[in-house]
Structure 1
Amino acid sequence: MPSEPSEPLTERGARTRERLIAAARQVFEERGFPDTRVAHITRHAQVAYGSFYTWFPSKEAVFLEVADRLFEDMTQPDPALAADSSPAARIRRANRSYYQAYLRNAKMMAIIEQVATFNEEFKEMRRKHRAASIGRSARAIERWQRAGLVAADLDPETTARALAAMVDHSLYLWLVQGDDAPGTERLLDTLDAINIRALGLPATP
C-alpha cells in the first residue's frame, strides 16, 4: 500500500511530495520501472536527492502511490450516470467512461503490466481495486436478476469478472499495444453489444 510520510505534512511538504509523485509518473512512463532511479525522479522534480527519502522510503513506494492514484481514477463509478438509467444505458456509459480513463492512463498502464509480473505488493493493490470495481458490477447484475432482466443461472461475480476482462484486455491491446482497431465508436459499440447480449438485457436505451 502507499507509504505514509515520515514527518508531518506541512503545506510546503505537501507541495514537494506532489511534485515528486508527478515527476515519478513522468519518469516511469519515459524510462520504465526497472531503469528508473531515484535520482531521475528528483532531478525531474527539481528536488534535492535526500528530500525524496523524507517522503518515500524507496522507488517502489512512490510507484505504489502513483499506481494507487491511477487505479482510483480507472475504477471510480461515473458520477454523471443517472440512477434510473436502463441497464443497457448504464453499460454503454460505463464502457465509455472506462475508455476515457484508460486513454488518460495508457502510458502508465504499460508500466503497470510490467511491474505486475514481479511485485507482490503491487499485485495485491491491483487486486483490491479490481475487486471493488467487480463488486459494483456484480451487484448491478444481481439487481437485474431480481428484476427478471438477467438469467438467474449466471453467477454475478464470475460474469462481472469475465466481461470486465474482455473490455480491459481489448482496450489494453488497442491503446497500449497498438493493435489495429476499427475506430473508437465501432470498438466501443461492439463491446457494449457483447456485454448486453451476454447478459440477455434489452438493448433499448
Structure 2
Amino acid sequence: MAKASVNSPSGPASVETLTTRGRKTRDALLDAARTVFEDVGFPEARVELITAAAQVSYGTFYRYFESKEDVFRVLSDQLFEDIHHRGPSDSTLSPAQRLIAANRTYYQAYRRNARLMAIVEQVATFNDDFRRLRHDHRHQLIDRQARAIARWQQEGLVRQSLDPEMAARAMSAMVDHTLYLWLVQGDEANEALLLDTLDQMCLGALGLDQD
C-alpha cells in the first residue's frame, strides 16, 4: 500500500504512548475521517479534508497516521470489531434463540455502520490490502459460526450432512448481501418481515428447531 511521507522521522506515535490530549486529537481525526469518507468516498477523500473537518493543522494528521489509507484501515478495524462483537451469552437460551439474538445484534451493528460499510466494500474491489482485511474479518466470523454449527451437530440439533464451514459461509453471504442491498443500496423492505425472514432462513438451513 502506498504511504504518504511523514513529517516525523519516527513516524506516527503509537496509541499506547499518547497523552490524554493526544488521544482526544487522534479520536477527533478518526471521527473527521469517517465523516469525510462517508461523504465523498475513498478515492476523493484527502488528508486536507480530514484535517479541516477535525479543525487541526495538516501536519498534525501525520503525528497520528501515515496516510489516508492508514486512517481508513483503523476505521475499518473499528467497524468490524463493532459488527462482529458478541454480547454476553445467555446460557438459558436455546441454540435457536441464541442464533436469532446473534443475528439481531449483527443487524443492528450493520445498520449503525452501513455508510462506512458501503465504502469498505467499495475499496475492497480495487485495493488488495483492504480486500485481504475484509476477507480476514469475514473469515473470523465464519470460523465462529462454523464452531457453533459443529457443536450443535455433536448435540444432535443440526443436520449431520452439513459441512459446518460451508454452511457458515453460505449463511453469512446471504445475510450480508441482503443487508447490503437493503441498508446500502436502498432496496425497500418491511424491516420486521425482512429480519424475521432472514432468521427463519438461517434456522431452516440448519434444520434447527425454534422453540
Output the TM-score relative to the length of structure 2.
0.91
**Candidates 156, 168, 188, aligned match of 2:164:** 156
Specify the SS of the correspondent of 1:153: coil
Matched positions, count? 201
Matching residue's letter, 1:17:
R
**Residue 131 of structure 1: aligned partner:** 139
Superimposed CA distance per residue, residues 153-173 of structure 1 (whole angstroms, 9 cap, x where no aligned partner): 211011001001101110100
**Candidates 177, 181, 192, aligned match of 1:185:** 192
Matching residue's letter, 1:63:
F
Q: What CA distance in whole angstroms lies between the structure 2 residues aligned with 1:114 and 1:47?
A: 28
Q: What CA distance in whole angstroms lies between the structure 2 residues aligned with 1:83 and 1:127?
A: 31
Q: What CA distance in whole angstroms lies between the structure 1 residues aligned with 2:209 and 2:122?
A: 39
Quote the offset at 1:96 in angstroms.
0.9
1:89 and 2:92 correspond: no
Superimposed CA distance per residue, residues 112-163 of structure 1 (whole angstroms, 9 cap, x where no aligned partner): 1110111222122222221211111111101110011112121101100100
1:31 and 2:44 correspond: no
Q: Following superposition, which runs of at least 4 residues in structure 1 exceed 2 angstroms of deviation?
A: 3-8
C-alpha root-mean-square deviation of aligned residues, in Å? 1.7
Q: Which runs of 5+ in 2 are unaligned?
A: 4-10
**Candidates 42, 52, 60, aligned match of 1:51:** 60
Q: What CA distance in whole angstroms lies between the structure 1 residues aligned with 2:206 and 2:12?
A: 46
Where relative contact order (Cα < 8 A, 6+ residues apart) is larger, the structure is 1
Quote the offset at 1:90 in angstroms.
1.2
Specify the SS of the correspondent of 1:178: coil
Matching residue's letter, 1:148:
G
1:201 and 2:205 correspond: no
Conserved 8 A contact 2:12-2:66:
no
Q: What CA distance in whole angstroms lies between the structure 2 residues aligned with 1:133 and 1:76?
A: 10
Quote the offset at 1:83 in angstroms.
2.6
Output the TM-score relative to the length of structure 1.
0.93
